[in-house]
Amino acid sequence: MSCERYERELALHVEGDLPPRDASRLARHLEGCPHCRGFLSALEVSQRGVKALAAEPLDDSALVAVRAGLLAAVRERPAPARTTSVWGRALAAARWHRPLGAAVAVVVAALALGLFLWTGQEGRRRAHVEAPATVAQGAGDGRGTPALAADVSTSVRHEPGSTQRAPADERTRHSTARGPRRVSGDRAVEAEQAITALSPEDADQLARAIVVLSTIRRLSDAEKPPPAEPTLAGQVVLATSDPNVVIYWQLASNGG
């Protein structure tokens, strides 16, 4: 007996695509037909192979390549629904790199530490060096007056509360002077401890802020000649998950 006409029905039945009425008729046929039962078994095997493709994981590097190409293409093309904001671009770029956030955070933390140590030893030479960074603890009397360095400055401030302040913090609240300052050994250690104690999320946030500032600096440098005196060009305030730690980043284009 030729069962070829049932083969198409079996190919639908194997994935539940056969209407119930036809499925009942096919089931009755299968009971008495070993050939069709074998055909159905073979179909189930091949379909298992096809459906197994759905479970195969995609390599993250393949997605990173897509994002990188997409970001470059989006930036090149004018689109009505696209912001031209520098912040928007930078934040989007930072956002898309989130899977690499942990690795970036580690690098940033290492760089920050290196810069802290360097500024502790070479603070007075900062104004003559490209892209130095200063970390100071105690940013004065409010968020709006963090320390300003010649190029990029970072301020880590402990805020135990507006009404209560630990003696150790009182000791460091005098640092309201603007301009390059040398970081004392004690402060460098305290700042180093504050940075290294950041959670991965905060470190990731810090990494994003650096992307933002780097983008602003690059665009600012490209669009206008450097001023003779350091000029404030950007500021980021990072409220970390630790309510006692607030991080300030400031950017100034450097005329030197």
Partner 1 sequence: MTPADAAPEAQGRAASEVAAWIRRARAGDEQAFGLLVEQHERMVLRTALRLLGRLDQAQDAAQDVFLRLHKYLGRFDESRELGPWLYRVVVNACHDLARRRPPGREVPFDELREAEHPGLRLGPEGIEDAVSQAEQRRLVDEALSTLPAKERAVIVLRDIEGLATAEVARILGTSEGTVRSQACTARLKIKAFIEAGRASLAERRTR
Which parts of 56-115 interact with partner 1 (CB under 8 A)? 58, 62-63, 65-67, 69-70, 73-74, 77, 79-83, 85, 88-89, 91-92, 95-96, 98
Read out DSSP for 118-170?
A: HHHHHGGGGGGSSS-EEEEE---SSTT-----SSEEEEEEE-S-SS---HHHH
CB of 101 to partner 1, least distance (A): 13
Beta-sheet strands, E only, within the chain: 133-137, 152-158, 231-239, 245-253
Q: Does 201 bind partner 1 (CB under 8 A)?
A: no
Instruction: Give me 46's structure tokens.
Output: 């091949």
Closer to partner 1 by CB, 154 or 215: give it.
215
Q: Which phi and psi (to 5°) does residue 217 adopt? A: -65, -45
Q: Does 21 bind partner 1 (CB under 8 A)?
A: no
SS3 at position 96: helix
CA 191, 196, 199 angle in degrees (round to 5)? 120
Report residue 93 CA to chain centroid gap: 8
CB of 6 to partner 1, least distance (A): 12
Q: Does 15 bind partner 1 (CB under 8 A)?
A: yes
CB of 248 to partner 1, least distance (A): 22
CB of 10 to partner 1, least distance (A): 9
The residues that touch partner 1, with contacts defined as CB under 8 A, are 7-8, 11-12, 14-15, 17, 38, 41-47, 49-54, 58, 62-63, 65-67, 69-70, 73-74, 77, 79-83, 85, 88-89, 91-92, 95-96, 98
